[in-house]
Amino acid sequence: MILRKSNAGQQLQLQLFALILMHAACHNLISAKTVNPNSGGDLQQQQQQQPLQGLPEPRAYMPDSQNLDFVYHDHEELTRFLRATSARYPNLTALYSIGKSIQGRDLWVMVVSSSPYEHMIGKPDVKYVGNIHGNEPVGREMLLHLIQYFVTSYSSDQYVKWLLDNTRIHILPTMNPDGYAVSKEGTCDGGQGRYNARGFDLNRNFPDYFKQNNKRGQPETDAVKDWISKIQFVLSGSLHGGALVASYPYDNTPNSMFQTYSAAPSLTPDDDVLKHLSLVYARNHAKMSRGVACKSATPAFENGITNGAAWYPLTGGMQDYNYVWYGCMEITLEISCCKFPPAYELKKYWEDNQLSLIKFLAEAHRGVQGFVFDPAGMPIERASIKIKGRDVGFQTTKYGEFWRILLPGYYKAEVFAESFAPREVEFVIVEQHPTLLNVTLQPSKRIEGIGGGGGAMLPLGGVSPGGMYRPIPVPQHYRPQMPPYAAAASSDNGIFSTISNGLNSLYSNIFG
């Protein structure tokens, strides 16, 4: 049977192909090798030049004290600033709420991008989340200043303009406004304000890969889970306080008994990438990469980074949830030794973190990106993709897009979609530029003449004498294979689990 493209399908394919070409041409990205968009073939490994080459470093930023000074802002002041910024820069910002806290405060998200109100096809969505612990508000203020920096620098800073033209940046300044409301400025340690209004630690309230998390879901975490289920975030940073380090997944470990004292790292299949992302932040920070300990009794971190579980394991963390459930590379950024330092120190914290906050987001453009199409050129939504040897997968958007941050090397991608034959595609990542890889999947074949419907699918995973194949149904998300000892750890209970959880809570109150 010959497949013919509908006019609508052909038009959408041409539009998507044109957007790819425009996106690449704007930054001198296209190589000489292309294909006819009507051929149904792949656009194989178009190598793109590094778009940031030749751009000057982002400029230093001085706040407009009439709009945003270096002081702490309560929820009403934060809301007024976000609304005023959205009204003042309607072409660069969009403000929305993902839900409300226990006490009814909006969880505001500001999108900063040259296309703030709609997804830009072929361009990644990234995010920052601040103030998940209410008594750690330095990140909250840094994110407000990052918004101000972006909108005031877009027309004059080439780096910022490139970043906003090619990325949609979602910024949630505070995930725990209720906890912040009862926190006290100048309090460097302790737990007052750390939790939400019901006394829950929001960074222990997500589903966990290694251990069953029986803590009741909270409105704030439910809102974030719903948020990231709807937007295909490629990269994320969560801002905390109480230490000076970039911490990467996994945060938890199967060995849960007395887990506070476990010093063994718990490594993901993407350990090289997550270490790299952590180093990007630490090395662009004014102090973090030195690995200086905040206090004599606290640990120092080599190069300013650590595996989360090697520092201290925790159950129900947000960064592990982002990574395992949605393939989003999230790093936890501990940016202040004092949890709630005096306001006069905020300017220093901005100077320390400005370059890191920007350069980290640009890493979303490293690795491989592309589209998954059917033979008619229509995008395939929710196709599952896994890099061979890296068991945490990811999915395409409704436009068939995908992104994956990878370091230079040779890779194979396994692509699956319901009703399509699976496909394996080889590609190469180089240091200088991302790789553009488009994949066309073929429908799984049918045996004609079986049953009354004019054809029947083969049994699951079955191959007919003629070689026709039906793929096994694809799970919604790939997750790494559970270690054999993790199942036992997930059912830990009793006095040892209680003691371990108590020690973990004490440790996190001290160190972040």
What is the Cα–Cα distance from 183 to 108, expressed in whole angstroms?
20
What is the Cα–Cα distance from 135 to 332, expressed in whole angstroms?
16
- Verify whether residue 334 is a known catalytic residue: yes
In one-letter notation, the amino acid at residue 466 is G
Q: Which of 177, 191, 176, 144 shows the shortest CA–CA distance to 340? A: 191
At 279, is the secondary structure helix, strand, or coil?
A: helix
What is the Cα–Cα distance from 253 to 267, expressed in whole angstroms?
9
Quick one: CA dihedral 160, 362, 134, 60, positive or negative?
negative
Among 220, 334, 363, 401, which one carries the catalytic annotation?
334
Could you identify the residue written with the tokens 């973090």? 288
CB atoms within 10 A of CB 445: 16
Per the CB < 8 A criterion, the answer to whether 98 and 89 are in contact is no
Give the β-pairing of 329-336 and 243-248. Answer: antiparallel
At 93, is the secondary structure helix, strand, or coil?
A: strand
CB atoms within 10 A of CB 80: 11
What is the Cα–Cα distance from 157 to 136, expressed in whole angstroms?
30
DSSP H helices in 27-137: 75-88
What is the Cα–Cα distance from 374 to 200, expressed in whole angstroms?
46
List the Cα angle 135/138/144 in 5-degree steps.
120
Per the CB < 8 A criterion, the answer to whether 149 and 61 are in contact is yes
In one-letter notation, the amino acid at residue 47 is Q
Q: Which of 249, 273, 394, 231 shows the shortest CA–CA distance to 332? A: 249
Rounded to 5 degrees, φ, ψ at 390 are -125, 100
Reduced 3-state DSSP string for 362-397: HHHHCCEEEEEECCCCCECCCCEEEECCCCCCEECC
DSSP H helices in 89-134: none
- Residues serving a catalytic function are 334
